[in-house]
Amino acid sequence: MGEKSRAVALHERSSAPAPHVPAQRANPDPAPEPGTGEPHPVARFAEFCYRRLAGDYEVDEFGFDREFTDSLLLPAARAVYEHWFRVEVTGAERIPADGGALLVANHSGTLPWDMAMTQVAVYENGRRLRGLGSGLLFGTPVLGVLARKAGQTLACGPDAERLLRGGELVGTWPEGSAGLGKPFAERYTVGRFARCGFVDVAARVGVPIIPVSIAGAEEAHPKLAEVWPLARLFGLPYFPVTPTFPILGPLGAIPLPTKWRIDFGEPIEAGPGCRFALAERVRGTIQRTLREMLEERANPFTG
């Protein structure tokens, strides 16, 4: 590429005068005039790298890194969302346009793909979801950091309350790791909610509970058996045996390309009353919706 064809985006920082021959510019994609229009994509990417290298970005008190999430994590997750799981969303109009709400969903899939996909589904509908994860997640190298950067935090009362009071949408999977690692035979039976604290939090802050039913995730990693001595060795809640893991090694982490459907249900007001009854009502709603979704579905892979 000759000097004449170089695009020049003017910028106050550039002290060295760039070769600039506007009259003879032969570039088919003309560079924007100084101060107008969009900067060159390469320059924009470089600016991103510059800021990441200089540490010039904002992180909130939970560790949520908006720029990192929007430019790297969400596009990657969206590719999986659109092309791998082909997620179909129903009831998106029930996601509140503003203000806090607690989204409660069924948990499954051996690896927490459902958390990532719900996060994308909510983002596609104009809001952000702040997921609540287990202590095990935040203690895991790399994954814990990515989870915090994506806006997730520890599943505990004070963290959830703080986020809700800030007007955020908070997602919780109260089945916990028992739900995540449920055996394939028990798929689509929503387990006991190990923690009913979410009901108290929603009642205290005064936000509605939105039951979220996720179909498709439960077949993504069919857990056929588990090896408890290995689980104990690695300090994990379970060590799964799926059709692809551990036989295929790390490739076993690739989920089966099931067709997903995520349904956002009718909001439930968390008023005063028995927490267990309310938690049971949320669980029952999710279970019923799941059954309906499964009846409509012909095949886990085509939907």
Partner 1 sequence: MPSTVLVTGASGYLGSHLAAQLAAQPEIDRVIGVDTALSTAQLRARLGGAEYIRADVRTPLIAKVLLEAKVDTVVHASLTAHPPGPSGRPLHKEMNVIGTMQLLAACQRAPLVRKLVIKSTAAVYGSGPRNHAVYSEGMPADVTLPRSGYAQDNAEVEAYLRGFSRRRPEVDVTTLRFANLMGPGVDTVLTRYFALPVVPTVFGYDARLQLLHAEDALAVLRRAVLTDIPGTFNVAGDGVLTLAQAIQRAGRVALPVPEQVIGPVSKFVRGAKLVDFGPEQLRYLNFGRVVDTTKLRTEFGYRPKFTTREAFDDYVRGRRLGRLLDPDKLVSAPLRAIGLALPART
Q: Cβ(78)–Cβ(120) under 8 Å?
A: yes
Site for partner 1 in 226-285 (CB under 8 A): none
Q: Does 200 bind partner 1 (CB under 8 A)?
A: no
Q: CA distances (Å), 234 to each of 151, 173, 247, 262, in order?
A: 26, 23, 18, 32
- Cβ–Cβ under 8 Å, residues 73 and 146: yes
Q: Which is nearer to partner 1, 144 or 257 (CB)?
A: 144
From 108, 118, 119, 153, residue interacting with partner 1 (rule: CB under 8 A): 153
CB of 137 to partner 1, least distance (A): 8
Q: Is residue 128 part of the contact set for partner 1 (CB under 8 A)?
A: no
Tokens of 179: 């739900």
Give the nearest distance from C-beta 38 to partner 1 in angstroms. Answer: 9
Residue 162 lies near partner 1 (rule: CB under 8 A) = yes
Interface residue with partner 1 among 107, 127, 148, 259 (CB under 8 A) is: 148
Any contact of residue 145 with partner 1 (CB under 8 A)?
yes
> What residues are paired with 103 via a beta bridge?
171, 210
Q: What phi, psi does 274 have (nearest 5°)?
A: -75, 125
Among 86, 138, 231, 256, binds partner 1 (CB under 8 A): 138
Q: Please provide residue 226's backbone torsions phi and psi, each rounded to the nearest 5 degrees.
A: -140, 155
Q: Which long-range contacts (CB under 8 A, 24 or more apart) does 272-276 make?
A: 272/203, 275/196, 275/199, 275/200, 275/203, 276/196
Q: How far is the CB of 59 from partner 1 (least distance, A)?
A: 5
The per-residue b/e assignment along 178-214, b for 16 or more CB within 10 angstroms, e otherwise, is: ebbbbebeebbebbebebbbbbbbbbebebbbbbbbb
Q: In the set 22, 57, 183, 225, which binds partner 1 (CB under 8 A)?
A: 57
Which helix (H) or strand (E) segment holds residue 277: the answer is helix 275-296
Out of 25, 40, 66, 78, name the contact with partner 1 by CB under 8 A. 40
To partner 1, the closest distance from the beta carbon of 282 in angstroms equals 24
Residues that bind partner 1 (CB under 8 A): 3, 6-14, 16, 18-19, 35, 39-40, 42-44, 46-47, 49-50, 52-57, 59-63, 65, 135-142, 144-145, 148, 153-154, 156, 158-159, 162
